[in-house]
Every structure is written in structure tokens, then in C-alpha cells.
Chains A and B, each alone.
Chain A
């Protein structure tokens, strides 16, 4: 198993923490993993991107240029990454903030109105979890249990009250893919 994933969107959309959840879950399952953020001069409001490599063997390159999967949360990220996804790869789009269709025919494209669905669940910020749920369901690279276990860690003792809504969002993403 060797998976290269890029997650990209706007600062504040939870892009980096999605990647960290994947990394924690990988450790849980005793897989090798690397997580690399892109970083810039801006502190807030700019784009946010991270690259994750999950593998059964030690990770060589932590630099991802042709991801197997990309999860994109806004138009800018979509424009940058659409062409980069490897053939037969996977592209998951947050159509709430993306206003055009993908023209790629050699990859799987999953469209989810995630920001809107998250608002309906009661917290716009958990759009990232809906998309992550969809990704896990589609690829099966990690177990849902590992993600939820990791979620407990990432949220920390002060935010355990957010666990339930995050799990709901993961479930919703997964359900959407099941009937996609």
C-alpha cells in the first residue's frame, strides 16, 4: 500500500487537521506516514495545503507532485490541483465553494456540497470531516475506527463535546459515497 494525498483549500477550512487525522490514524494502524504543509508568509486567510504519504514501507519522498488522491475545498485549490491527480486517481470536490465541473475523464471525481451539508448539520467548520469520511469510504486505506480514535486525540480534552458532530460528519461523507 502506497498512497499520496493532497488536501487543499483556504486557511480556516481545517485542511491541515484533515491531513493530521490521516497521519494519526496511520500511526494507529502501524503504517508509515509523512505530513507536509505548504507554508507561506501569510498567517491567515491564504491558501492551505498539505501532502500526506501513507505506506507500508518507510516513506521516501514526502513531496507529492502527482497525488493518487486530492481533496480540494475551494476554487483556487481546484484550479491548481485538478490536472495533477495521477491517472486512475481520485478527486474529491467541495462543490459549495467550487463553481465548475472537472474535465478529467481518467479519474474518479466525487462532488459533495460539503460546506452546505455541514451547515445543515449545525457547524460549517466540519465540512472537512464530511469530505474525509467520503475519502475513507472510497479508498478504504484506513479504518473509520482509527479516524475516530485519532479525532479524540486531535480534539484534546477541552473539545470532546465536538466529537459527536465530527463523527456525524464523517458518517455523512461515508454514506454519500456508498450511494454515489
Chain B
């Protein structure tokens, strides 16, 4: 297939359609509006349904309803809207319904602004709503990766019966890059015999619920969920390593910031500084492996984020005291440049050697 030039938000939408998503419930919020707009036009073309809900809360609950029928369904939003969806996501997780949610995050807290940010990391990686749950979080760094990951996101959702989050920021949502959609074959997935579609002789009523008033029953349910989360952790971790073989210092960054960090690393390498990058692609489950194998060799890690310091906590957990961990971030919609990250690398490494 030929390379297409598309906006990030549109790539997410088209890749979802290609992954078999036929139902989308959305609500306008900047900077993800192109995604909703694209779905409004595209889904009817493939016999799907687009519906603009009256709120993010309604949208996620429509997703809950549609997911309960076994359909591939999705919603998208940006930070303030993602907060509103938390109730529904907690229910999706509790009732074990597969769905894909997309957060094209922006500056916060509160109404914040509409510029790119990564300050929803805690919310994304710690479940986000009430109760003991996690959801897989994919953080693509390029539009090609978006195109490649969307199908996986839906597969993971179906395979484990869980909501899955695509976490990107306004940079990825708004930018254009060439993309090529692959004709990936959908994985053989378990049959959705739990779906409520009307019994129609299928052996008695099915119930979708997250309610279990029996104390022992809920604990048993939650420990089953815990097993599932452990399974996901075992099987679904993704990350990329860049220039880490001989690295004395390792930057850790995800999404658009990882790209900027790579440019900074190129500058630093030219200046003779041995620095590399670990780029988590899944933010939950968080990759431990690349830290375990490097933490006794390197002189330090630096987490680079568009936040006041959130992922750095996971870096510290993964490094577990074996090496110093520092942080550099911009937030409130400010994007760090590769020049300023380069300056931080120079400081970290004690200056450029002559």
C-alpha cells in the first residue's frame, strides 16, 4: 500500500476502522476533534455507527453497552474528558468488557490548556478510576506506530476482556507523517460467549455486571482480575531500546517526547557522550527488563517528560536503587526541545569532553 500523509488523530481513527472497530461514541474536545470528525464520516461508509454523545460520561457508558454485545467499540477524548470517563472505565474493567479508549492528552490540572502534555501518566497507569484495576496503556511515538498498534490494542482488549488505553498527546494527534496501513491478520481470538445479545436459545440469560454484594465473591472476582493483570504483565510488555549497548547514561521517555529525546541523543553522541534511550511503548504494564539489564552498568538514568515528574516514579521502581535517577520535564503545554534536552544530557554527564 502507498504511503499516505495523515494527521495523527485521523491515523488513530482509520487504524481502528481497519482493526474492525465499527462503533464509536465521542464528544468534542480539543485536541482530538479530528478523530471524532473522521469517525463521523468514515464509520457509516463501512456499515458502522458513529454517535456524538451528550457528554464524555454518556459516551463511555454507550461504549459499555456496545462492548457488552461483543462489538469492537471505541471512544476518544482529551484529559478533562478522560477524567469524566473514569467511572465508566472502572465499570468496564470490573465487568470485564473489551473496549479501546484514546486520550490525546493536554495540559492540566483543571481546564488547563489545549497544548500537548503527558501529565495524565499517573491516572493512565494506576487504573484511573475507583477499585483495584489496571488497564493496558499503549503510548505510540510515531504515526506509523499508531497505525501498527491500534489492531494490537483491540486484540489485547478482546483477548483479556479489558479496556485498553491509547495515550498520546496533542503533538501526535495534530501532526502529519507518512503512514502505511498493513493488512494485519486479526489474531484468532476467544469467542465472546459472554456477550448479552438476547438469549435466542443460547442457553439461558447472561449477565454483565461489576456488582457482587457477597464479600467473598468480590474478593474471588478481584483475585481473578489480579491473575489477569499478571498475565498481561507477562505477555504484553513492549518497549524500544535506542543506543543503549555502550551507554553510560540512559534517557527514559515515551510518546512524542521520546522522539525529541532521540534527536538530543544524536547531538550528544556527536559530542562524544555515550547516551541511550529506553522508550516504554506500554506504560502499564511497565517494562522492567531493559532497566534490570542496564542498571548495574550505567552511571544514571534521566526521565524526560512533559509533566512535573510522573513516569520517573516507575523508572525509580525499575532501577530499584541500583543507579541514580534524575528527571527533566516541561509541562503545562510546553514541549521540550531537543536542544534543551541535550543541555541536560551534557550536565548529567559532567560536561562535554574536549
* Residues of A participating in the B interface, judged by any CB pair closer than 8 Å: 20, 23-24, 26-27, 32-37, 39-41, 58-63, 65-66
Contact = CB atoms under 8 A, between A and B. Distances in A.
A60 B266 contact: yes
B260 interface: yes
A90 B144 CA distance: 31
25 contacts: A20-B5, A20-B176, A23-B176, A23-B178, A24-B5, A27-B3, A27-B5, A27-B178, A32-B178, A33-B178, A35-B177, A36-B176, A39-B174, A59-B177, A60-B259, A60-B266, A60-B338, A61-B262, A61-B264, A61-B338, A62-B171, A62-B256, A63-B336, A65-B339, A66-B339
Interface in B163-206: 170-171, 174-178
A36 B335 CA distance: 13
Contacts of B178: 23, 26-27, 32-33
Nearest to A26: B178
B31 interface: yes
A129 B42 CA distance: 32
A24 B335 CA distance: 26
Given A34-B175, A37-B174, A39-B174, A60 B262 contact: yes
Contacts of B337: 61, 63, 65
B263 interface: yes
A59 B266 CA distance: 12
Contacts of B263: 60-61
A84 to B, nearest CB: 11
A34 B256 CA distance: 12
Contact of A41 (B114, B171, B259, B336): B114
A155 to B, nearest CB: 15
Nearest to A41: B114
Contacts of A58: 142
B175 A61 contact: no
A61 B5 contact: no
Given A35-B176, A58-B142, A62-B256, 9 more contacts: A20-B176, A34-B175, A35-B5, A37-B174, A41-B114, A60-B260, A61-B260, A62-B175, A62-B260
A61 B256 CA distance: 8
A59 B259 contact: yes
A34 B262 contact: no
A23 B256 contact: no
A62 B174 CA distance: 11
Interface string B1-22: 0010100000000000000000
A24 B176 CA distance: 10
A63 B258 CA distance: 12
Contacts of A24: 5
Instruction: Enumerate the 9 nearest inter-chain pairs by beta-carbon distance, A residue then B residue, closest first.
Output: A60-B263, A61-B263, A35-B176, A60-B262, A61-B260, A65-B337, A36-B175, A61-B338, A27-B178
A35 to B, nearest CB: 4
Contacts of B259: 59-62
Contacts of A66: 339
A31 B25 CA distance: 37
Contacts of B266: 60
A34 B11 CA distance: 14
Contacts of B335: 63
A12 to B, nearest CB: 19
A42 to B, nearest CB: 11
A27 B2 CA distance: 10
Nearest to A37: B174
B175 A35 contact: yes
